[in-house]
Structure 1
Amino acid sequence: MTKVSAIIVASGRGTRFAPGQTNARPKQYHVINGSPVLSWTIRRFMEHSGIDEIQVVINSDDTELYEEAISSLPGTKLKPPVFGGATRQDSVRSGLEALTDAGSDDLVLIHDAARPLVSSDIIDAVLKGLSDHDAVTAAVPVADTMRHGTDDGVLTDAVDRNGLWVVQTPQAFRHSSILEAHRKAAGEGRHDFTDDTLVYQWFGKSVAVVNGARTNLKITREEDMAMVAYHLSGTPMETRVGTGYDVHAFDDGDAVILGGISIPHDRKLKGHSDADVGLHALTDAILGALGDGDIGTHFPPSDPQWKGAASDQFLIDAVRRVSALGGRIIHLDLTLICEAPKIGPHRDAMREQIAGICSLPVHRISVKATTSERLGFTGRREGIAAIGTATLSLPQQDD
C-alpha cells in the first residue's frame, strides 16, 4: 500500500521577516490567533485523510519553540523532528533521509511551514496530479502586470505574463525519485535551487502544475501576519489602545533596570520585583487594552513568589493574553520620565530587548525619554515614572 508523507520545512531564519534583528523569534513560531504559525500548518496536514505521516524539519536552536508549537496537537501522525542544514535544500534532504521506511512507490509532499493557509483542496489536487505525472506543484497564474526594474528603482520594459506562474507549495513527488535528485545535487555542489521542483527539473524530470490559491500565501514580511490572521479567524478585527503608568522610587544601589536592561547608575529602583518601571507601564498598557485588570491583579506584590522577579515575566504574560484572544500587538510606545540616568545612549538596546520579549519587529517598539524640568518627585531625582501605550488588533467582539 502506497504511503503518503508530508515534509514541513520549518528550519529557516526568516531574515526578510525581521531584518537586522538577531533576537527575533523565527516567523514560523510567531503566534497568530492563539497558535504558532507552524502549529496551524501542521494541523492542515494532520487533518487531511490522505496524509499518513508528517516529518517536520526544524533548526537545532528551535527545539523548545517546536515543542511549544506542537503541545496542543495530537501526535498520531507526527514523526520526531529532524534538524535542517545550512540551506533549504539541505533541510529538505534531511527530511527525505529521515523517512527511512519509505518504499519506491511512496509519495511525499514538501511544504513550507510559513504557508499555514494551505487548503485540503490544494493537497487533494497535488496528490491527484501524481496519478499522471512525475511531480506536481501548486501554483497560481500571474495576474498583475510584470515589469523589469533597475537597481535604483526605475521601471523599464514589461514582461509578458502569459504562461507565467507563481509557484507555491505543497510540491508532490515519488519519494525515491526526489531523494535521488537531492542526493545528486548535493554531490555536485548545487545548493542554489530555490524550491524542489527546480531540483527535480535539473535532475531531468518534468513537473506539472495544478491550481493553488492566492490565499495560500507565504508569510515573508511582518505585514503578512495580519492577512493570515484574518483568513484563519474569518472574524473582523478591531483596534484597541491602552495606557499604563508606573512609578518607582530610588533606593541605594549601583544600577537601574529599565526596559529590560541594566543601566549603571548611583541608585537603583525600589520595588517588590526588579522595579522595571518601563516594562511595568507597558504591561499595564497591554492589559488596559484587553480590559483585563492591571499588573497587580495578576502579579500581586503580596505574593512572595514575585519578590525580586524579572519584569519580563509580566510582559510575556500580557503578550500571551493577547495571543490567546487571537489578537496581535501593533505597536508599543514607552516614555520614561527622569532627570537621570540618561536614556538616549540606551534607547536602541531597550527597543531591541522589548522587541525580543514580545516577539515583535523592533520598528513596532518606541522608547522615548523626557524630564519634568526639575519639577515634582522626578525633578528632585527621587524616582522614575513611565507611561506606556499599547495598540492592539483584536477579533471584533459583539457589543
Structure 2
Amino acid sequence: MHGGVAAIVVAGGRGTRAGGGLPKQYRCVGGMPVVRRTLLAFTAHPGIALVQPVIHRDDEALFREASSGLDVLQPAHGGATRQSSVRAGLEALAERAPEIVLVHDAARPFATPALLDRAIEAGRAGAAIPGLVVSDTVKAVDGEGRVVETLDRNRLRTVQTPQAFRFDALLAAHRKAAAAGRDDFTDDAALAEWAGLPVGVFAGEAGNVKLTTADDFRRAESDLLAALGDVRVGSGYDVHAFAEDGDHVWLGGVKIPNDRGVVGHSDADVALHALVDAILGALAEGDIGVHFPPSDEQWRGASSDRFVAYAVERVRARGGRIAHVDITVVAETPRLGPHREAIRARVAEITGIPVERVGLQATTSEKMGFIGRREGLVAYATATVRLPWGAE
C-alpha cells in the first residue's frame, strides 16, 4: 500500500489506576475490552485502510484475545514512553507509506465516525488535532498556590486524539526527535510543533473521553447503558430424549454424571440450545437450526458453548449487550442442585455477563408425561438484550 489512511492505536501503557488488576485498555466497558471497542471504531471506518496497534510486549496474549477476529496489522511493541511507542508504530508502517496517519489512544474507545471523518480531512493539511473549547475560567498559580494570571479561555483548547498528520512529516519529526535525544513529548502535536510543523485544530467531541480512573469506567458504563434503550426479550425452548446408554449429560456447559446420555446431533445441551434460541429471538434472527442446521456434519458432537458464543457475538455486532438470562430445566434426572452454581458460572463465562445476571431454575413434571417417565428432558430460556436505538 502506498497512499491512503492508516491509524496507529497506542495500547502499550501500564495504567492501573482504574483498578481491576489489568492495564486499563484490557478492562471491559459495556461487556467489551476497551482496546477492542477502540479498534472497532477504526476497522469499521471505510476511509481507514490500515490499523496498526502498538502494545506492550508482555500483553501479547491479552491483545490476541481482545482483538480476535478484527482486521488489524501485527502489533508493534511499544517503548518506555508514549513517544517511543508511536515511533514504533510509524516505523512498522514505513514500508506501506500511507499518505495520512491518525494516532489515537486505546483508552479513548468512543471516537465516532464523524470525528474520524474530520480527522482524516484535517490531516491532509499536514498536522491537526481535535480540541474542545474551554468553558471554565482557567487560572495560572505559583508554587504557593496563589493566582498569578487569569488566562484568556477563548484562546485555550483541551486536546484529544486521534491526532492527524501527513505520514512522512510525522515520521521525519519522530526520527529527528530520537536523533536529538528527545523522548519527553506527551503528544504528537507537541513533537510536531518542536519540529517546526504548523498544527491546526479541528472540532473534538465531548464524548471522546479518556478512561483513566475507576470513576471514568463507572461513568462510561452508565452512559453506555443509557444509550442502549432498545430493550428486547427473547425466549427459547429445547427438548432431547434420553439415549439407551451413556454416563453423562451436558447442561449449561457442565458435564453432569447420569445413568444415560441424551440423543442429539451436537452435545445435546438443552439448556444452552434454549439459550441460543432466546438470544437469537431477541434479535429476531431465527433460531439455532437456521444458523447451525443438524444436517451439517461439522456440528456433529460440537460443544454447544460455540453456539452461544456465536449468538453473543451477534448481539455485540449490533452494538448491544446481554443484560440478563434465565434458564429453567425440567427433568426427573439428573438432579441439578449440586451443579447449580457451576452451571451459572459457566453460562456467565460464555455470555460474558456477571453471574448475578444468570438465573437458573430446576424442576420436575411431578412424574407426568414423557419427562415423568424419564424419557427425556426440557429447557426453557429467556434472554434480555439491550440494543442502541436504530440497530435493526
Aligned-pair CA distance for 1:246? 2.3
Taking the aligned partners of 1:363 and 1:230, their CA distance within structure 2 comes to 19
Q: What SS does the corresponding residue of 1:371 show, helix, strand or coil?
A: strand
The aligned residue for residue 353 of structure 1 is 349
Aligned-partner residue type, residue 363 of structure 1: P
Aligned ranges 1:1-399 → 2 under 5 Å: 6-9=6-9, 11=11, 16=24, 19=27, 26-29=33-36, 36-41=40-45, 43-46=46-49, 54=50, 56-57=52-53, 60-61=60-61, 68-70=69-71, 81-85=74-78, 89=82, 91-100=85-94, 108-112=101-105, 114=109, 115-117=111-113, 118-125=115-122, 128=125, 130=127, 136-143=128-135, 163=153, 165-172=157-164, 174-181=170-177, 195-196=187-188, 200=191, 210-214=201-205, 217=208, 238-250=230-242, 252-263=245-256, 268-322=261-315, 326=318, 328-337=320-329, 339-340=335-336, 342-347=338-343, 349-355=345-351, 360=352, 362-363=353-354, 366-372=357-363, 375-376=366-367, 384-392=377-385, 393=387, 396=390
How high is the TM-score relative to the length of structure 2?
0.63
Taking the aligned partners of 2:3 and 2:119, their CA distance within structure 1 comes to 18
Q: Does the Cα contact within 8 Å between 1:261 and 1:353 map onto a contact in 2?
A: no
Q: What SS does the corresponding residue of 2:86 show, helix, strand or coil?
A: helix
Aligned-partner residue type, residue 40 of structure 1: A
Distance 1:123 1:276, change over 3 A: same
What's the % identity of the aligned pairs? 34
Deviations 1:155-197 (A, max 9, x none): xxxxx99747443112246322234546888x98x7xx87545
Aligned-partner residue type, residue 177 of structure 1: A
Q: Does the Cα contact within 8 Å between 2:4 and 2:100 map onto a contact in 1?
A: yes
Q: Does the Cα contact within 8 Å between 1:283 and 1:318 map onto a contact in 2?
A: yes
Taking the aligned partners of 2:157 and 2:355, their CA distance within structure 1 comes to 34
- Which structure has more relative contact order (CA 8 Å, sep 6+)? It is 1
* Structure 2 spans left out of the alignment, 5+ residues: 14-21, 139-149, 212-216
Q: Tell me the C-alpha RMSD between the 2 structures.
A: 5.1
Taking the aligned partners of 1:8 and 1:277, their CA distance within structure 2 comes to 45
Q: What SS does the corresponding residue of 1:169 show, helix, strand or coil?
A: coil
Taking the aligned partners of 2:178 and 2:256, their CA distance within structure 1 comes to 51
Q: Does the Cα contact within 8 Å between 1:245 and 1:281 map onto a contact in 2?
A: yes
Aligned-partner residue type, residue 315 of structure 1: V
Distance 1:176 1:201, change over 3 A: closer
Counting matched residue pairs gives 341
Deviations 1:359-395 (A, max 9, x none): x4x2387323333267347788775543322233265
* Structure 1 spans left out of the alignment, 5+ residues: 47-53, 71-77, 131-135, 147-159
Q: Does the Cα contact within 8 Å between 1:93 and 1:183 map onto a contact in 2?
A: no
Taking the aligned partners of 1:256 and 1:219, their CA distance within structure 2 comes to 47
Q: What SS does the corresponding residue of 1:389 show, helix, strand or coil?
A: strand
Taking the aligned partners of 1:88 and 1:379, their CA distance within structure 2 comes to 67
How high is the TM-score relative to the length of structure 1?
0.63
